[in-house]
Structure 1
Amino acid sequence: MFKKKVLSKTAINSIVYQFRYLINDKKASDEELSWQLSNMLSNLGVKVDYIPEPPPWKKKNE
């Protein structure tokens, strides 16, 4: 009925690596992480709801 997209181990590892970088080095906010994850999954062919890019002042956790 519905085909689910299967993500490879490499794709999952690259998402985790990117998230570690965003959290540890860039101190990304939850809004930024949500937007980035949406973009990563969309690029891999997984359908996701539209998430707008957060404004610059909401991109960092203080």
Structure 2
Amino acid sequence: VLRGLIHRQVTVTPGMKIGDLDPRSDRRACFTISDKALAVGGGALEAVLSAEAVRQQLK
């Protein structure tokens, strides 16, 4: 299964990663978020919410 193919308007350079082949051959995986992506997203959200200015705007 081909996943994460780069947008066609992006200029590519030699050796640049443009997509992923998923060895599981499970088409449903194309519509899910990986554990790694969830961890990165959670860390980014935690960093944003830890900023005092952001917390004040949420009140």
Question: By percentage of residues, which structure has more strand?
Answer: 2
- TM-score (norm. length: structure 2): 0.37
Question: Per chain length, whose mean CA-contact separation is higher, i.e. which structure has more relative contact order (CA < 8 Å, sep 6+)?
Answer: 1
Question: By percentage of residues, which structure has more helix?
Answer: 1
| The structure with more radius of gyration | 2
- TM-score (norm. length: structure 1): 0.36
